[in-house]
Structure 1
Amino acid sequence: MYEKTFPNKRFNRTLEFLKKHISTTEIILDLGVENPFSKIMVGNGYTVKNTTGEDIDNNQTALQNENYTVFTAFEIFEHLLNPYTILENVKSDKLLISIPLRLWFSPAYRSKIDMWDRHYHEFEDWQLDWLLEKTGWKIIDRSQFTHPVKKIGFRPFLRLITPRYYIVYAEKIK
């Protein structure tokens, strides 16, 4: 496994959750361009296809045209304006989604130099649950975990004890 530092702790927890629910015989469509975690999935025996960087809010063609049995979106939904339509267009019967949770003591992330690297949504767990239910998904398993930082202070202490990430495995309701 990887070290227990950021982002490796997050990668370890995500990989552990993925292995718990998804077989390496499945074909995964991972929302977003190839990234460090999609490479980790491939390195662990998964077949992974990534979207190509298209504006997925406006163009869900890949969701309809690709051949896949599992849909994944790891820390992507917070950047989207329209996650409802995306979830409606997923054609597989299984999905795994992880999101950073909204923290009361920290404002939504917004890069000052990259207009695409922003969090439009920072969900509370119940909001993602509701979004999945409204789009025809049944949550089978879920987990939350923290994102500690190696700093001293009130906010670093809160990050040590407050869950930052939420991961969900769901199946389409037939």
Structure 2
Amino acid sequence: MYENTFPSKRFKKTLEFLKLHVDPSDRILDLGVENPFSKIMKEHGFEVENTSGEDLDDDVSAVLNFKGDAVTACEIFEHLVNPYGVLKAITCNKLVVSVPLKLWFSSAYRNPQDIRDQHYHEFEDWQLDYVLEKAGWEVVDAVKFTNPTKKIGLRPILRHFTDRYYLVYCERSQN
């Protein structure tokens, strides 16, 4: 099921990372509607519920009302104008986040046909760390990885050795 192809490589790395830090008995809120990765989490024994597609910049009620153990935010914060508001609203103590990294050789993803399907942010690792820490989270573990493609060209070659994704596990700061 998991080859070194998109998005399988990302799913495999994220699942391995999640298993290191979140117990399958933990109740998880996965930000965003049900998606291929939330289905993979369920297939691997995790108890997962998703938000309902509400605009998390404007409505964090699902996050505030969640009474579980962990939140996952996989490829969601780049779509928000204000990830800080969501991060502050999380009431549990465990958080797993993945975001695409800003690439110097490629502009942020934009879809003029669908305003919700574009990246308002593509982070550098220090930027995500900063917003997490400001929102009261401590980064406990982090990993970066590439996203090679089989296309031909300069950008596809650069993707073989330039990290594309940043994955972090955080716990609520005790400050």
TM-score by length of 2: 0.97
Give distance in 1, aligned partners of 2:66 and 2:168. 22
Mapping of residues 146-157 of structure 1, within 5 Å: 146-157=146-157
Q: Measure how far apart 1:115 and its partner are.
A: 1.6
State how far apart, in whole Å, the 2-side matches of 1:3 and 1:162 are. 19
Task: Map 1:11-90; keep pairs closer than 5 Å.
Answer: 11-90=11-90
Q: What does the per-residue CA deviation read over 1:63-83, in whole Å, with 9 as the maximum and x for residues that have no partner?
A: 111221101100000000010
Match of 1:117 in 2: 117
CA apart distance, 1:2:
1.6
Report SS of the residue matched to 1:161: coil
Secondary structure at the aligned position of 2:158 is classed as: helix
Q: Which residue of 1 aligns with 2:135?
A: 135
Q: Deviations over 1:122-166 (max 9, x none)?
A: 110000000111111111000000010101221111111100000
Q: Percent identity between the aligned chains?
A: 58
What's the CA shift for 1:3?
1.9
Task: Report Cα offsets for 1:57-110 as digits up to 9, x if no partner.
Answer: 001001111221101100000000010111000001010000000001001100
C-alpha displacement at 1:53, in angstroms? 0.4
| Matched letter for residue 37 of structure 1 | F
Distance 1:158 1:3 in 2: 20
**Cα distance, 1:112 vs. partner?**
2.8
TM-score, scaled relative to structure 1: 0.98
> What SS does the corresponding residue of 2:72 show, helix, strand or coil?
strand
Unaligned stretches of 5+ in structure 2? none
Number of residues of Structure 1 aligned to a counterpart in Structure 2: 174
Distance 1:7 1:64 in 2: 30
* Counterparts of 2:144 and 2:66, CA distance in 1: 30
Moved more, 11-20 or 105-114: 105-114
The one-character-per-residue Cα deviations of 1:31-55 (angstroms, maximum 9, x if unpaired) are: 0000000000000000001000011
Partner of 1:101: 101
Which of 41-50 and 106-115 deviates more? 106-115
Alignment-mate amino acid for residue 146 of structure 2? T
